[in-house]
Amino acid sequence: MSRPLVAVGGVVFRGEKVLLVRRKHPPNQDRWAIPGGKVEFGETLRDALRREMKEETNLDVEPRVLMAVVEVLAEGYHYVILDFLCEEIGGSLTPSSDAKEAKFLSTEEWRSLDLSPTTREMLERFFRGEKIPLFLTEISK
């Protein structure tokens, strides 16, 4: 990869529970994370997020507010991810594409799982009431 890739993520709540997926592929394979993926050329951020959420979770969402800007630098990867708070507007939760599992999890549940580092930090900071958008960096080379 010769330059950073732009990606989007969707933070969706059902009551007090947040939607997370267990990744099928690197980076963060087998870890739980916010669903999302790469923006395709010519696609708006919001359209990319709607597509990725449908592909990974079968949910229809409407992106509302920028929640976090996340930069991930890992062996062979460099992503700039824009995570949006989203409203669930349709579909039925079914993992597919890049997700082994997709679940709405309580704080107690997600805190006990192997989350990607930036997902954990973002959720902890959000639930502490920090102002959004949050800016996070993960470096694991």
Geometric angle at alpha carbon 8, from 125 and 116, rounded to 5°: 50
Whether 62 sits among the annotated catalytic residues: the reply is no
- How many structural domains is the chain composed of? 1
Could you tell me the pTM of the whole model?
A: 0.91
State in Å, rounded, how far the first CA of the chain is from the last one. 14
Residues of the chain with pLDDT under 70: 1, 141
**pLDDT tens-digit profile of 35-65?**
999 999 999 999 999 999 999 999 999 999 9
| Structural domain span for residue 56 | 5-140
- The domain that holds 119 is classified in CATH as 3.90.79.10
The answer to whether 33 and 119 have CB atoms below 8 angstroms apart is yes
Residue 121: which of 110, 89, 95 has the closest Cα? 110
Residues 56, 101, 109, 130: which is the catalytic one? 101
